A and B are shown apart, each in its own frame.
Chain A
Amino acid sequence: MPFEMSRCAFVLALLAAGPAFATDAFVSNEKGNTISVIDVESMMLKKTIPVGQRPRGLVVTPDQKTVFVALGDIDRIAAIDTQTLAVSGEFDAGRDPERLDISPDGKTLYVTNEDSNTLTFFNLETKERLGGARLGVEPEGLAVSPDGKTIVATTETTNMAHFVDAERRKILANVLVDARPRMAAFTPDGKEVWVSTEIGGTICIIDAETRKIVERIRFEIPGLRAENIQPIGVNMSRDGKLAFISLGPANRIAAVDVKSRKVLKYLLVGQRVWHAALTPDDKFLLTANGISNDVSVIDVSALKVVRSIQVGESPWELVIPGPSKP
């Protein structure tokens, strides 16, 4: 593996970049039915937590105390305590929950149910189902606007980004995007929504106010078939300057300058990279590589892959809780 570095070199890189927060990264292993916990300071695997079948979507509560995991094959959501690193509860999630997100006040959980074309709302205190918004076929990607008022959900077979009013649970707009949209992410200023389209091969940038596509980003990697460049994960740095796009079977992360929309660099990571997460200080990006069963660590300031960490079978998503806010 060309991106492997010796432990010594990694420590040097860490020293150069400054230490990360003392926190853990949680990785959902879709086929391993486990959550791998990585200590972010040492970038070492710390624990493996067994959960139910087909864990995929993950979200951290705003108080950083709980990570919720969607368990697609048993139609449930599990809660993991970020201190004890143990499952602390579980509840019914409706059919085939795939991705999760949460309201900024921590009161409502949003779930895309891939098999029933629904965006479901749960009261997080009571775990009660509040209602749902009917979406297109195979809902997947989820994003909440920074002000918490709008949810964007993508549907893979209907090829839409649905804008949903978080309070009324009603659809505000349906934006047709390129083929098989997978993930949506708001820019930190809330002005744009970036939607990755796996088969279309693009990032469709939607103006959050007019709800129209304003630009498309395409990717080109010399020596690679265009069909193998399939945008999936979208991660924005907290300052809104950089976006990291996972390119699936291209085994690469594209680092994109948000303002100019230009790809700064393609970084070779593990095989079939799904989703990724930035450390709370934005110094490292960790990627879940579905086929090579590992997590690649990217030094954000150097735009270099500095390490890979073996995790469970078919890692799919990653979340990294930050320091808890009072």
Chain B
Amino acid sequence: MTGQLTRWICGLFGLILLAAPARAESPELDGDKPAQNFVIGYLRRAENRTAISRLSLPAENDGQAGAESGLDDNNVAGEFLGQKFSLAAHRLKPGEDPGQALADLEAKGARFVLADLPAEALLKAADSPAGAKTLLFNIGAADEILREESCRANVIHVAPSRAMLADGLTQYLLWKQWRKLLVVVGSHDQDRLWAEALKRSATRFGGKIIEERMFADAGGARRADSGVALVQKQIPAFTQNAPAYDVMLAADESAVFAEYLPYRTWDARPVAGSAGLVPTSWDPAYEQAGATQLQQRFERKFLRHMTALDMNGWTAARMIGDAAAHDAAGDTSAARAYFLSKDFALAAFKGQKLTLRDWNLQLRQPILLSDGRNVVSVSPQEGFMHQFSELDTLGLDRPETKCRLK
């Protein structure tokens, strides 16, 4: 442990030393175009995200650091194109009206706003008067309803939906021939939605839910000193007497119990979903498709690892930068049209281009499966075919959608 700590501290110093960039001659601009300035808004939820492991506690700038990193990349391109990008960030106070907060960002010139908001607040912002003048990028809400019944023409979804995450995971479990699934669901609304997505996915791809159990949040202290001993007794009891199953699927977005499951279940079975093998849009261990470059760039600047929320922020910022580079960020409707055109192809270290689903403005993307130390696999899995794009085997497809964009 001491050795690890020493390595980490040395690494930290190394990062700081490397952080001073070798300045070279400054680039020259193309032509004499007047400089364009883009203010990108960033609207954050009031609530703090929770976690069981202290390693998963979000940093104060979780998400926003990713957006800033994306703007840095935009600004390097901007030096050649005569474009400047800056961030106007606002964190909601409890009870604050998201529409008013959006109006304040809009008054600062933000036409493109990254939103890390719960579903309800996101819809309030989108439906507000300021919402009509802005294009929102949902980076923090996985809710299906935002992409389906309550989809909005001014909200682009960069974050993958619960159905996409569930499909990415289930494809892999079925490729492993782990068909018999035991679902454990938390007692909060978002846990139930996550469990529904996992169950829908299992049915879709031919898995079998053999039982479902509910873990009630009794409000126990998460990491109290006596907690570990209690959990060690509690989890085996909770998971015993189950019919034969291959994998335990934990639906616990509220971070109440899932990370207590591995190594404590009654039967020796792997855990997936909210703990164990977790589907995500990014993982700090991911190094394929040139991702190491982005990871290192991020770590040098922020002295911490890059999270999925950071990556969603980076991706949204790069989408805006890409639109600007293609002269399509003058107004929100031009940008939206560009994202929906065949010219839009975002490179985001996922090994293939990311594009936008025209029926609900969801970004198509591969899903990474992380065990917390490494990326175990990237879905879609081989063999899951689609007539248009294999990425559309992840999440609700065009024929299934309930979204009617106006």
Chain A residues near B (Cβ < 8 Å): 94-95, 113-118, 120, 131-138, 156-160, 162, 169-171, 173-174, 176, 178-180, 198-201, 225, 227-228, 249
Q: Which residue of the partner chain, among B22, B80, B297, B325, contacts A118 with CB atoms under 8 Å? A: B22
Closest to A202 in B: B345
Interface string of B327-359 (1 = CB under 8 A from A): 000000000000000000111000111000000
Tell me, yes or no, whether B32 is within 8 Å of chain A by CB.
no
Tell me, yes or no, whether B35 is within 8 Å of chain A by CB.
no
Using A134-B27, A157-B318, A180-B290 as known contacts, list a sample of 12 further A-B pairs with CB atoms less than 8 Å apart, ordered by residue number in A. Answer: A95-B22, A113-B22, A118-B22, A120-B24, A131-B25, A158-B76, A159-B77, A159-B325, A179-B345, A227-B351, A227-B353, A227-B390
Q: Which residue of the partner chain, among A131, A158, A228, contacts B77 with CB atoms under 8 Å? A: A158
Q: Which residues on B sit within 8 Å (CB–CB) of A113?
A: 22
Q: Which residues on A sit within 8 Å (CB–CB) of B322?
A: 159
Chain A nearest CB, measured from B24 CB (Å): 3
Q: A115-B293, A176-B325 are in contact. Are A227 and B352 (CB under 8 A)?
A: yes
Q: Which residues on A sit within 8 Å (CB–CB) of B27?
A: 133-135, 171, 174
Closest to B326 in A: A176
Q: Which residues on B sit within 8 Å (CB–CB) of A135?
A: 27
- Cβ of A116 and Cβ of B345 under 8 Å apart? no
- Cβ of B77 and Cβ of A156 under 8 Å apart? no
Grouping DSSP codes into helix (H, G, I), strand (E, B) and loop, the A interface class, with mixed when no group exceeds half, is loop
Interface string of B1-43 (1 = CB under 8 A from A): 0000000000000000010011111111010000000000000
- Cβ of A170 and Cβ of B352 under 8 Å apart? no
Q: A134-B24, A170-B25 are in contact. Are A178 and B345 (CB under 8 A)?
A: yes
Tell me, yes or no, whether B73 is within 8 Å of chain A by CB.
yes
Q: Which residues on B sit within 8 Å (CB–CB) of A94?
A: 22
CA distance A44 to B27 in the complex (A): 46
Q: Which residues on B sit within 8 Å (CB–CB) of A133?
A: 24-25, 27
- Cβ of A132 and Cβ of B345 under 8 Å apart? no
Q: Which residue of the partner chain, among B24, B77, B81, B294, contacts A132 with CB atoms under 8 Å? A: B24
Q: A136-B80, A159-B347, A178-B345 are in contact. Are A114 and B24 (CB under 8 A)?
A: no
Tell me, yes or no, whether B296 is within 8 Å of chain A by CB.
yes
Q: Which residues on B sit within 8 Å (CB–CB) of A136?
A: 76-77, 80
Chain B nearest CB, measured from A225 CB (Å): 6
Q: A115-B296, A170-B28 are in contact. Are A179 and B22 (CB under 8 A)?
A: no
